[in-house]
Chains A and B, each alone.
Chain A
């Protein structure tokens, strides 16, 4: 499956990803939901080779936790449900996306631009959270966080396509609002070393650097481990022998 790419959504008949249950459980290190493609890889194995400043910045992300400082308790419930849905984190261990986004705005960190037809990024977030609850109440009579995963995904799908209407959505360019939120969500999720374990990213590499650049001979440093394979080991060995 991995060599052929049959797990990739665009190559599948229904255009959807397979259920993550096909993935191996993580054996070393931590990954979000303990699934990943590199079950024997832990980016922290290389930590002794990192520079002090990078180590501080990366490891500090492991310590991020509540209580939230920017978002209200009322908003927190929706925020967590939205971040979970957008990153498909339905179980522990979770990358603390909500906490990282909250910290960004609590520190007043901005990205350097605002669309002329949009409020500031933190204000956009608050309106999106209010909008998600508005739509959930309108359709299901409950809050967004109380919906089942499939229902939440349907609403976020409409947020992504910009088709949500009514209430707070009337004050937003909806598709742009999704982009603004996802910018913060993705920066949070993929800044976390657990996500690097999941995708097999080699991580910080100063001052050690990389040597095996994958031209002709090898693509993996000694501390990098191969991705999991679902091929029959007997057949692979036979092919190698031939």
Chain B
């Protein structure tokens, strides 16, 4: 252990990020980003340095980094600019506006439900309603083709993201125990206390020889500028009204706005405009909610950060002479290789009350099964994480196990006796799992996205194996009854990065092949997904891209 690492361990929580003042810019007594009324505004005909589509994990980090280096930036965001005090509630059904609920079509043999499951809308993106788990990808994730003969190798290695992972863990900030898996590392904040429900599951895991660790969660556990400590109310998935859970809204946008970024909310991007003569983007046209008019924001560069459904949709809708089938789609790669993670959850019943609705749903996790073990009969693996559904989520869980009517009511009344554990399977990329344009039109008259998804053989074996593992954990913990829901979580891919325009959409600098100035900066560039929750990696990729753009390396 180096002297620096040793010192950091002693100083847990007190080392803040170097180039991000968001935690000090927030108000102790109000949750909204201060200074929004004084936010810099740019004229549409003014050519800004970059227009970013989407104020989520990718777009917000990219904007904050580049604004600090003097770039003039406008973020176009389809959803609202939240005021958490006014707009968010401690209530499941009342949080419906946080999700992307515009029409979309799902198909394939294993259709993936969208909306509240995996799609956000509004300033801060889907990290507003993510649980808060913030694991890194493993070094092996970047070379699955070489190591395991499946998926794809990334054009960049883990080491290139590592400094960005470390910086973002300080910015969010992430709390958890020292991490033994992947590239072993520690976290800036100590682990949160563990509830009785999660402790029960942890004990079961230990009895099965499975090691688990507390965290990693992006939830403040100590002093962090003006961000309050977590109050353990359990509504992480409904938007954190406390400002304790990390999301771009609290971790990057305050600093971005202080450095001259304009966040233009309520504006739906409809096309990246390409100049036929030069092949360069001129800007982004969008429809403003205010008056329904279509406008064009001019810019020297464009970054599309709309995530795995809306990014491919926007690219496919952006047709020009040089890109007749959609921007970057001359090799028919846009929208392909979209991935989700298998996210089966199993709940166990215990004799005493556990009341698992308390504390953040993400508590204890394991990455012991992350990499390939040939003995299991499939490539790659899964992670294990405890969760705790609120009543509507619990009702969906009970229904999925086959109960409705009186049986459902009986299981629901038993809510306080249950503890829930889930998996995240690494499901492999497949070209036919893709986003295309449907015939159906949205309220702006633009084609809506269609997402087709079908599991492969390796995926099914992975899911079946991991379901057995978490069921055994519950049995070892002494569960009296077990209920299981098979589901999917997260989105990744759709505009993957690679080393040739024939097999990818963006180059290793996340620039769309064949354009000098259009970048994709969100989860859609990832060629594989590991079995880690994607938020931290999306942010780290944005941080890396910003560094390269600022240095001029990516121009």
Q: Is the A/B pair a real complex?
A: yes
B241: chain A residues within 8 A (beta carbon): 51, 206-207
Q: How far is A24 from B395 in the complex, measured between Cα atoms in Å?
A: 22
Q: How far is A126 from B113 in the complex, measured between Cα atoms in Å?
A: 21
B111 x A199 contact (CB < 8 A): no
CB distance from A119 to the nearest CB of B (A): 11
Judge whether B210 is part of the interface by a CB distance below 8 angstroms.
no
Residue of A nearest to B90 (CB): A204
A199 x B231 contact (CB < 8 A): no
CB distance from A7 to the nearest CB of B (A): 6
B234 x A205 contact (CB < 8 A): yes
0/1 string, A47-67, CB within 8 A of B gives 1: 000110110011000000000
Judge whether A13 is part of the interface by a CB distance below 8 angstroms.
no
Residue of A nearest to B86 (CB): A53
Residue of B nearest to A90 (CB): B406
0/1 string, A191-224, CB within 8 A of B gives 1: 1000110111111111111111111100110001
Judge whether A8 is part of the interface by a CB distance below 8 angstroms.
yes
B104 x A113 contact (CB < 8 A): yes
Residue of A nearest to B482 (CB): A10
Q: How far is A4 from B241 in the complex, measured between Cα atoms in Å?
A: 38
- Give chain A interface residues in 52-92, CB to chain B under 8 Å: 53-54, 57-58, 85-88
Contact of B414 among A37, A88, A205 (CB under 8 A): A37
- A112-B91 contact in complex given A17-B406, A210-B234, A214-B355, C-beta closer than 8 Å: no
Residue of A nearest to B114 (CB): A113
Q: How far is A188 from B404 in the complex, measured between Cα atoms in Å?
A: 14
Residue of B nearest to A60 (CB): B94
Residue of B nearest to A116 (CB): B107
CB distance from A56 to the nearest CB of B (A): 8
Judge whether B408 is part of the interface by a CB distance below 8 angstroms.
yes
Residue of B nearest to A86 (CB): B404
A201 x B415 contact (CB < 8 A): yes
B195 x A9 contact (CB < 8 A): no
A115 x B235 contact (CB < 8 A): no
A172: chain B residues within 8 A (beta carbon): none
A205: chain B residues within 8 A (beta carbon): 90, 231, 233-235, 358
Q: Choose the segment among B281-289, B346-354, B515-523, B541-549 that binds chain A (4+ C-beta atoms closer than 8 Å).
A: B346-354
Q: Choose the segment among B95-103, B465-473, B499-507 that binds chain A (4+ C-beta atoms closer than 8 Å).
A: B95-103
Contact of A206 among B194, B235, B390, B408 (CB under 8 A): B235
- Give chain B interface residues in 345-396, CB to chain A under 8 Å: 349, 351-355, 357-359, 390-392, 394-396
Judge whether B412 is part of the interface by a CB distance below 8 angstroms.
yes
A57 x B407 contact (CB < 8 A): no
Residue of A nearest to B94 (CB): A57
B91 x A54 contact (CB < 8 A): yes
A8 x B405 contact (CB < 8 A): no
Q: How far is A200 from B417 in the complex, measured between Cα atoms in Å?
A: 10
A8 x B349 contact (CB < 8 A): yes
0/1 string, A109-149, CB within 8 A of B gives 1: 11111111100000000000000000000000000000000
Judge whether B150 is part of the interface by a CB distance below 8 angstroms.
no
- A215-B193 contact in complex given A116-B105, A207-B231, C-beta closer than 8 Å: yes
A190 x B412 contact (CB < 8 A): yes
CB distance from B200 to the nearest CB of A (A): 9
A53 x B85 contact (CB < 8 A): yes
- Give chain B interface residues in 92-145, CB to chain A under 8 Å: 92-94, 96, 99-107, 111, 113-116, 119
Q: How far is A200 from B358 in the complex, measured between Cα atoms in Å?
A: 13
B357 x A116 contact (CB < 8 A): no
- A214-B351 contact in complex given A7-B410, A88-B409, A204-B91, C-beta closer than 8 Å: no
A8 x B481 contact (CB < 8 A): yes
Q: Which of A114, A160, A191 has the most CB of B within 10 A?
A: A114
CB distance from A122 to the nearest CB of B (A): 12
0/1 string, A5-33, CB within 8 A of B gives 1: 10111110000111010010000000000
Judge whether B72 is part of the interface by a CB distance below 8 angstroms.
no
B199 x A215 contact (CB < 8 A): yes
Residue of B nearest to A153 (CB): B405
Residue of A nearest to B363 (CB): A213
A156 x B411 contact (CB < 8 A): no
Judge whether B197 is part of the interface by a CB distance below 8 angstroms.
yes
Judge whether B82 is part of the interface by a CB distance below 8 angstroms.
no
Q: Which of A51, A116, A196, A207 has the most CB of B within 10 A?
A: A116
A202: chain B residues within 8 A (beta carbon): 355, 357-358
Contact of A88 among B92, B233, B405, B483 (CB under 8 A): B405
- Give chain B interface residues in 455-475, CB to chain A under 8 Å: none
Q: How far is A4 from B349 in the complex, measured between Cα atoms in Å?
A: 10
Residue of A nearest to B194 (CB): A215
B114: chain A residues within 8 A (beta carbon): 112-113
B358: chain A residues within 8 A (beta carbon): 202, 205, 210, 212-214
Judge whether A93 is part of the interface by a CB distance below 8 angstroms.
no
A208 x B231 contact (CB < 8 A): yes
Q: Choose the segment among A163-171, A179-187, A233-241 that binds chain B (4+ C-beta atoms closer than 8 Å).
A: A179-187
Q: How far is A206 from B31 in the complex, measured between Cα atoms in Å?
A: 13
CB distance from A221 to the nearest CB of B (A): 9
Contact of A5 among B405, B413, B481 (CB under 8 A): B481
A interface, CB within 8 angstroms of B? 2-5, 7-11, 16-18, 20, 23, 36-37, 50-51, 53-54, 57-58, 85-88, 109-117, 153, 156, 160, 182-183, 186-191, 195-196, 198-216, 219-220, 224, 226-227
A sample of 30 inter-chain contacts (CB < 8 A) reads A2-B351, A7-B414, A8-B410, A17-B409, A20-B409, A50-B90, A54-B90, A54-B91, A57-B91, A88-B408, A109-B101, A110-B102, A112-B100, A112-B102, A112-B116, A113-B105, A113-B106, A114-B106, A115-B105, A116-B106, A117-B107, A182-B399, A182-B404, A189-B395, A190-B392, A199-B391, A201-B391, A206-B233, A213-B196, A214-B353
